[in-house]
Structure 1
Amino acid sequence: MKVFNTSQIRQCDQYTVENDEISSIELMEKAALACFEWIKSQFSANYTYYVFCGKGNNGGDGLAIARLLLEENYKVETFVIQSSSNFSTDAQINFDKYPDSVSFLENDDFEIQQENKKIVIIDALFGTGLNKPLEGNTQKIIQKLNHIKGKKISIDIPSGLFSDSLPSEDQTIFKADVTLSFQFYKRAFLHVESAQYAGKIFILDIGLNSKFIQDEETNNYIISSKSVSDNFKPRDPFSHKGNYGKVALIGGSYGKIGSISLSTRAALKIGAGIVFTIAPNCGYSILQTLAPEAMFISGGDEKLITEIKISTEKTTIGIGPGLGKEKLTKVALEELLKSIQTPAVLDADALNIISENKSMLNLIPKNSIITPHPVEFARLFGDSKDSLEQCELAREMAKKYNIIIVLKGHRTAVLTPEGKCYYNITGNAGMAKGGSGDILTGMITGLLAQGYSPQIAAQLGVYIHGKAGDYAAKKYSQEAMTAQDIIHRLPEVFLNIKK
């Protein structure tokens, strides 16, 4: 699924009007109807709906939604922001069609009966055309709405939020529980600093021109369930374990054997044919107990890895979880990187070791996958002012070093050497716990070993990881779920993909 910027979305609207025998007011009505149908599916007529409209096309959407609600005998009160500007052409048409009176807002002097708990506030004040922070009376209106208790829905984008950039700390923005966005995700929905205002995102198909969407170029995408299904390779009924790759997971140190154990179990559960674990000798009993299907190879010392003895030919390497940063371990990592000729997966302490000797970045095999969280990324490549700037820096570093960067976070982003960014929208806050990243390392390594390209292995890995986390949260709750529960829910993900 493509992510377009504001200008591209506007062009798509215009192209649809010019080529699909539909007028702009008819397109607005389709958008309003899609919102109305969603609202009707979620809320009953027992609610009172307060619709706040601007004078642009976003306000026109709001007026049309309010009209549709009234026609179904919902209780509706509609407010229009008073300003010196006139309505846009289509908003004026919907204002003229509105069958009831509206209240014009000069300031924040309006009342909503908060003792009635069945309240829905619909924000249709400002859309994607907003180009400066709110101020004056409009700022006061939004601030007052944010303090009112009730269900809050934004139409297309929360008022005060920009589509293609992140807000400043003191910026006033409507804080929605739900945003009903037309056809596309906005990039602002995918970064934590702005996503907090949008709430849960629902993408409503309003029939924008498919040819434009297909032909228009972008470097930003959503990893969709369809792309996962399209790239998933079912197992051949006549295959054997050798057809699904050989994995060597390297990590662990005294007190941190759990990390590499989770990676090992994840690689097995994701479908890898043969799995080796290289760890210190103190991990032998633990690993053979927790993952008996995997084979143990001594890392050369009782408590930490001092040597890595394995043929890298036809073996997919994943290294880092629980590795530690002892001097001999650093030497072992450097020697390993010098010997690898094929893509590998690097995470956790492998990245932290490299961050202390950045010349080692040049030793990472081309098309390898690194999976840093934001702090690990900053150690490697420097600080950024926000997550969007960090994502753009990751894009440049992926190109510079010819690697795939899985930048973990609220919406994990996969950055490729071609400059593409693929956002993952599965997953939840329950996964923000120790061990989740170790599992992702094992999963991506296991997928890479099975013959998926590095880019597809990374995309499938983050999607399946997040989806399993969603199933785990549903069963155990976000609070109670642990990293192991992600592994336990992988069967449900695969069964779903196969459908």
Structure 2
Amino acid sequence: MKIFSAELIRKADLFTIENEPISSVNLMERAAISCAEWISINFKLNTKFAIFCGNGNNGGDGFAIARLLYSKGFNVQVYADEKTNNFSDDALVNLKRLKNINEIQLKDFDEFEKMTLESNVIIIDALFGTGLSRKLEGKYQKLVEDLNKIKNTKISIDIPSGMFADIMNEENDVIFKSDVTLSFQFWKKAFLHPESGNFAGKVIVLDIQLSEDFIFKTPSDDFVIDDELINGIFKPRKEFSHKGTYGKSILIGGSYGKIGAISLAVKSALKAGSGLTFALAPKCGVEILQTLAPEAMFIEGGEKNVTEINIVDDAIYGIGPGLDTDLLTAKALIQFLKNYSKPLILDADGLNILAQNPENLQNIPSRSIITPHPKEFERLFGKTQNSFERLDLAKNKAEELDIYIVLKDHHTQVITPEKKVFYNITGNSGLAKGGSGDILTGIITSLLAQKYSEEEAGILGVWLHGKAADFAAEKYSKESTQPTDVISELGNVFLELNKKATTWL
């Protein structure tokens, strides 16, 4: 799914209005219907709603939603600022329609300050949409501050009021804190970054049937990794194949006391479908690795640390889990990179070794994939003020070094050398545990060995990783999910993918 800026979304609206054709107020009605239908499915009929409407088109959405919810039997109260009398044309149309229903209470914002909402009332924010160009001030700032203090369930329409769609708000900006955001047609970039996404809560993207022709023809460098994209990447196994068909993975890592990390990477590579899998690790880990992953073969790379890395033809290397940054290990890795020219995967201590000297970055083979978490990224490329700046820096470095960067975060970003960004939306906080990154390294290495392209391996890898974590969290909870649980659930994710790929059977 493409991510469009607020300006492109506005153009998509206008194109749809002109070419469907449909009036702007009827397009607003279509959006409101999609919201009302989602709400009616997810809330009981005796639920009460307090809808706060601004004077622009977001407020018009709110007025229409209030009318539609009332028609479905819900109890609705609406708050607006009628005294200003500067409503947008479509908002005014829906305000007049609302006033024709005497049973719906329409109150001024001032009245809200004098009353207390019952705890079971759902608050709906329809104050400001994606057209907002400045931070909230005055009465709207105070209103949102007051609403944020209330513990009631909160829903935002299209975007939380006060949030900018495409750029980061300043630290002290006031933003409506939602539990759910019902976004029209697209994810907004701000939903996918931790500083702002925390205000959006659970994001539900509603299809309001904006022009498919416009969406298809309008370019974007930002994407959400959705099921459609994954279904286009995934390749079911062919019946007439053998272990050589699915590649040779060599996972390099482990050191005394850190054999668990390389074991997780090896197990996940196996589970992700690698045809032949090797663990290149120090001798001290041989019994552990051969016990935990008997399907993998062992290559001795040293006594307590990896101090020797030999080049094996026709293999894909995943380097870093538990590797340590021992002087001899670092020397072996840098020498290997100087002699090796094919794409590989670098993670964890593999990246920490490179970060010791900026010149080391030039040794990363072209089209390789690196998978840093924010702190590792900082060691490699320097500090940034926030995740928006970090992403911009990552795009520049991916282009400069001709590499793919899998920037791990709540919504991990896969950044291409062409500066395209793919945001992952699977996964949960159950992955916030040591070992989760090692699993991802194994998965991506395995996919690259199976002849997925670098871009495909990165995109499919982060999606698989997150989806398996979602399955695991459903079984064990986010708190109790362990990295080994995530590896175990990879099989169920592949079962789901294969069912979708063979629906014709």
Q: Normalising to structure 2: TM-score of the pair?
A: 0.97
Q: Per-residue displacement from partner, 1:29-48 (whole Å, max 9, x unpaired)?
A: 00000000000001112111
CA deviation after TM superposition for structure 1 residue 168, in Å = 2.1
SS in structure 1 at match of 2:84: coil
CA deviation after TM superposition for structure 1 residue 236, in Å = 1.0
- 1:208 is matched by which residue type in structure 2? L
* Among candidates 271, 274, 286, match of residue 272 of structure 1: 274
Q: Per-residue displacement from partner, 1:79-108 (whole Å, max 9, x unpaired)?
A: 003563610000000001002341122486
* Among candidates 293, 297, 310, match of residue 291 of structure 1: 293
SS in structure 2 at match of 1:308: coil
- 2:107 is matched by which residue type in structure 1? S
Matched, 1:38 2:42: no
Aligned to 1:308: 309
Quick one: distance in 1 between partners of 2:114 and 2:236?
59
SS in structure 2 at match of 1:203: strand
SS in structure 2 at match of 1:331: helix
Q: Is the 8 A contact 1:468 1:493 kept in 2?
A: yes
Aligned to 1:427: 427
Q: Is the 8 A contact 2:404 2:414 kept in 1?
A: yes
Aligned to 2:284: 282
Quick one: distance in 2 between partners of 1:468 and 1:9?
33
Quick one: distance in 2 between partners of 1:65 and 1:183?
17
Q: Per-residue displacement from partner, 1:233-271 (whole Å, max 9, x unpaired)?
A: 111101000000001110000000000000000000000
SS in structure 2 at match of 1:285: helix
Aligned to 1:154: 156
- 1:217 is matched by which residue type in structure 2? P
Aligned to 1:326: 326
Quick one: distance in 2 between partners of 1:320 and 1:488?
22
Aligned to 2:368: 368
1:14-413 residue pairs with structure 2 within 5 A?
14-82=14-82, 84=84, 86-98=86-98, 99-100=101-102, 101-106=105-110, 109-114=113-118, 117-301=119-303, 303-311=304-312, 313-413=313-413
Q: Per-residue displacement from partner, 1:289-321 (whole Å, max 9, x unpaired)?
A: 0000000011122x111111342x211001001
Q: Is the 8 A contact 1:107 1:141 kept in 2?
A: no
CA deviation after TM superposition for structure 1 residue 136, in Å = 1.3
- 1:28 is matched by which residue type in structure 2? M
Q: Which moved more, 1:224-233 or 1:456-465?
A: 224-233
SS in structure 1 at match of 2:480: coil
SS in structure 2 at match of 1:9: helix
- 1:225 is matched by which residue type in structure 2? D
CA deviation after TM superposition for structure 1 residue 73, in Å = 2.5
Q: Is the 8 A contact 1:46 1:118 kept in 2?
A: no
Q: Is the 8 A contact 1:108 1:144 kept in 2?
A: no
Q: Is the 8 A contact 1:156 1:179 kept in 2?
A: yes
Cα RMSD of the aligned pairs, angstroms, is: 1.1
Q: Is the 8 A contact 2:310 2:336 kept in 1?
A: no
Q: Per-residue displacement from partner, 1:457-477 (whole Å, max 9, x unpaired)?
A: 000000000000000000000
Quick one: distance in 1 between partners of 2:428 and 2:81?
36
Quick one: distance in 1 between partners of 2:13 and 2:89?
15
Quick one: distance in 2 between partners of 1:261 and 1:222?
31
- 2:372 is matched by which residue type in structure 1? P
SS in structure 2 at match of 1:139: helix
Quick one: distance in 1 between partners of 2:238 and 2:89?
59
Q: Is the 8 A contact 2:404 2:416 kept in 1?
A: yes
CA deviation after TM superposition for structure 1 residue 118, in Å = 2.2
CA deviation after TM superposition for structure 1 residue 392, in Å = 1.0
Quick one: distance in 2 between partners of 1:150 and 1:291?
49
Q: Is the 8 A contact 2:316 2:445 kept in 1?
A: yes
Quick one: distance in 1 between partners of 2:79 and 2:336?
66
- 2:142 is matched by which residue type in structure 1? K
In structure 2, the gaps of 5 or more residues are 500-505
Quick one: distance in 2 between partners of 1:149 and 1:364?
50
Aligned to 1:9: 9
Quick one: distance in 2 between partners of 1:369 and 1:77?
53
In structure 1, the gaps of 5 or more residues are none
Q: Which moved more, 1:338-347 or 1:100-109?
A: 100-109
Equivalent residues, number: 495
SS in structure 2 at match of 1:423: strand
Q: Per-residue displacement from partner, 1:446-494 (whole Å, max 9, x unpaired)?
A: 0000000001000000000000000000000000011111101001111
- 1:335 is matched by which residue type in structure 2? Q
Aligned to 1:478: 478
SS in structure 2 at match of 1:272: coil
Q: Is the 8 A contact 1:399 1:416 kept in 2?
A: yes
Q: Per-residue displacement from partner, 1:67-86 (whole Å, max 9, x unpaired)?
A: 11112221111000356361
